[in-house]
Homo-oligomer: A and B are copies of this chain.
Amino acid sequence: MGSPERIRNVAKRVAKWSRAGHQMVVVPSAMSGETNRLLGLAREVSPSGSSPELLRELDMIASTGEQVSVGLLAIALQAEGIQAVSYAGWQVPIKTDSAFTKARIQSIDDQRVRADLAAGKVVVITGFQGVDEHNNITTLGRGGSDTSAVAVAAALKADECLIYTDVDGVYTTDPRIVPEARRLSSISFEEMLEMASLGSKVLQIRSVEFAGKYRVPMRVLSSFTPWDIDIAEEAQSGTLITFEEDVKMEQAVVSGIAFNRDEAKISLIGVPDRPGIAFQILGPVAEANIDVDVIIQNMSHDGKTDFSFTVHRNEYARTIDLLQNVVLPSVGGAQVSGDPKICKVSIVGIGMRSHVGVASKMFGTLSAEGINIQMITTSEIKTSVVIDEKYMELAVRSLHKAFDLEQAPV
């Protein structure tokens, strides 16, 4: 939704689907740059602060970007001869909690929307926002429009939730790093969740969680496809995020390689190995609102153990401080060390559940390239390693090749 011209094209695309007999609910984002412009104004007026009262007002301000978009898209649809009506989150209503700037959707009333659909209208709903129990406007935080779309699709039990993005689907890995990366025609919800949380920024992780919770089939497809391509072709484009039982999945062992270089590693060495030690270390970190990703505690020697975890790189200095000044005095005897120049590389695949040797193939591949592994964690469908950031591209490329991801599975 970059310009009036783009909005008219979105309207034409929606009109095509509507004329083909589909009941359509559309959740557009704000016009490009608009949310930043609005929050920039707010910062000019009041450069600092994070009180709930301030955050409430930021939501009042930021939510207008989407409100303008839905109005513009509705009139663009009307100009196409399609009956259309727009709603702000509070008009649906999309009820959320009161966590301003990062609210969570609690419920969606589908009555008004269903009545409009039954009357033949296309309904255009603001993404990114809702209303709390006191009729305050809330926003879901950056990227919340995806989550809104999935939530609305769930409430209406939509056949499919189409997410138009600036990429044409989910790839085996980032094509900027591996030119041979291949678009997946489908991916399981669990794999997508791992891919998204591991730094494949196609979809906001919360939207994928939502889709999983309510079993909403999502399709990621490109908003740059011409609006007038054949509807059957468009319906098969992009990547379908689906559920194992729904669709026969591609039978690859590994579906994709994810990576994330926003993390930093922190270790406490020589921690007394006693019950409650993990809570003693991570309790203060959580209280300081620092998100921890990977956590590793290995076996102990002589009553001492090493405890490592990763945090967002922006929180590295603050976390080190906290450990030195708050945690160490109470834990005693340990040393803090850390490294902000690491990255995490993961192989993700539902096939790993039933195939042995996948992790060891990963380790062997990295070893053959001379890449030292600093940390390892595994789950049922992914194996992640933390390595020196400078090896990231090399690791991703060699793993992509080792698992034959440039080839479509037979």
Contacts and interface: CB of A to CB of B under 8 A. Distances in A.
Interface of A: 4, 7-8, 38, 41-42, 44-46, 49, 51, 53-54, 56-58, 60-61, 63-64, 67-68, 70-72, 74-76, 78-79, 83-86, 88, 90-91, 135-137
Contacts of A7: 45
Nearest to A37: B68
Main secondary structure of the interface of A (DSSP, over half): helix
B58 A71 contact: yes
A218 B71 CA distance: 35
A218 B65 CA distance: 34
A128 B355 CA distance: 65
Contact of A75 (B45, B63, B86): B45
Given A8-B45, A45-B4, A45-B8, A51 B78 contact: yes
B41 A57 contact: no
A239 to B, nearest CB: 30
A74 B86 contact: no
A74 B90 contact: no
Given A57-B86, A60-B86, A67-B61, A42 B78 contact: no
A302 to B, nearest CB: 56
Contacts of A49: 75, 78-79
A56 B85 contact: yes
A372 B70 CA distance: 56
Contacts of A76: 45-46
B58 A75 contact: yes
A57 B45 contact: no
Given A83-B53, A90-B90, A68 B72 contact: no
A117 to B, nearest CB: 16
B56 A61 contact: no
A99 B256 CA distance: 55
